Amino acid sequence: MKINMLVKVELSNDRDYYFNDDRVKQIVSLLISESNSALFTEIINVINNVFDLASLDDKMPSLYGAYWEYENLDEYGRILYAIYRDHCHSNLRGAVLEKLIYELVNTKYRDENNLSISCNVLIDNWKSEKTVDVFYYSNIVCSGETYECKVNPLNLECNHIQNLKDIYIKSNKKIDAYFASFASTKAIDLKIRDLGIQLGGIGIIGRENLLNIAKIE
């Protein structure tokens, strides 16, 4: 079995604009600051299930009715409206998931120099067919992890899973690979079953186990 391998990334930069958007940074910062609260889960549910501004208008009264006691609720509301009023709100919603996972991985490793977004993975002479959304690899410990992110698993396709499987296998299972979503793991499983694909060692991250990303095993 190969012990040493050369792992690099080829940055795409196509997501940088959304990833670095102030609204995305602000809402992710709020989510991380109260990650153990019921409001954390509810805001994730809103981003997952609300697709346009009209639907957000319909959702907000019940959100305020149920979570009025949370001091950050007004700030969440302000940022959500700022996101959904933007014609690029779908990209911004996706960036919230990507940024949240990026920050959780960074919390785990504290090694931002080896953490990338929207990149192809290069292992020796091999290059991944598609980009991945979040990628970490340490040449010191020769291990890492990578994530394909979809706010809602409805947008998951077979080639996304195959790309993760390729990285996992080409790295001799040194790079753990995950599909991550704001949906429940049950919803993700149903989508994968509908696609008729085998995970082959790929992990599933849904809203129930998102915070496990930051845990050191």
What is the mean pLDDT of the segment spanning 60-72? Answer: 95
Which domains, ranges and CATH numbers included, belong to the chain? 7-12+97-214 (3.40.1350.10), 17-92 (no CATH)
For the segment 119-138, the average pLDDT, to the nearest whole number, is 97
Q: 30 with 75: CB under 8 angstroms?
A: yes
Rounded to 5°, angle at Cα 49 from 47 and 55: 90
Mean pLDDT of 144-168: 96
What pLDDT does 3 receive?
58
Q: What amino acid occupies position 131?
A: T
What pLDDT was estimated at residue 36?
83
Residue 187 has pLDDT above 60, yes or no: yes
Phi and psi at 184, nearest 5°, equal -75, 155
The answer, yes or no, to whether residue 216 has pLDDT greater than 90, is no
Q: Confidence class of residue 125 from pLDDT cuts 50, 70 and 90?
A: very high
* Residue 120 CB contacts under 8 Å (≥ 6 apart), including other chains: 9, 10, 12, 127, 128, 130, 131, 132
**DSSP track, the chain:** ------EEEEE--TTHHHHT-HHHHHHHHHHHHTTTSHHHHHHHHHHHH--SHHHHHHHHHHHHHHHTT-TTHHHHHHHHHHHHTSTTHHHHHHHHHHHHHHHHHHHHH--GGGEEEEEEEEETTEE-SS-EEEEEEETTTTEEEEEEE-SSGGG--HHHHHHHHHHHHHTTT-EEEEEE-SS-HHHHHHHHHHHT---TT-EEE-TTTGGGGG---
6, 182 contact by CB (below 8 A) = no
Mean pLDDT of 10-27: 95
The residues pairing with 175 across neighbouring beta strands, listed in sequence order, are 144
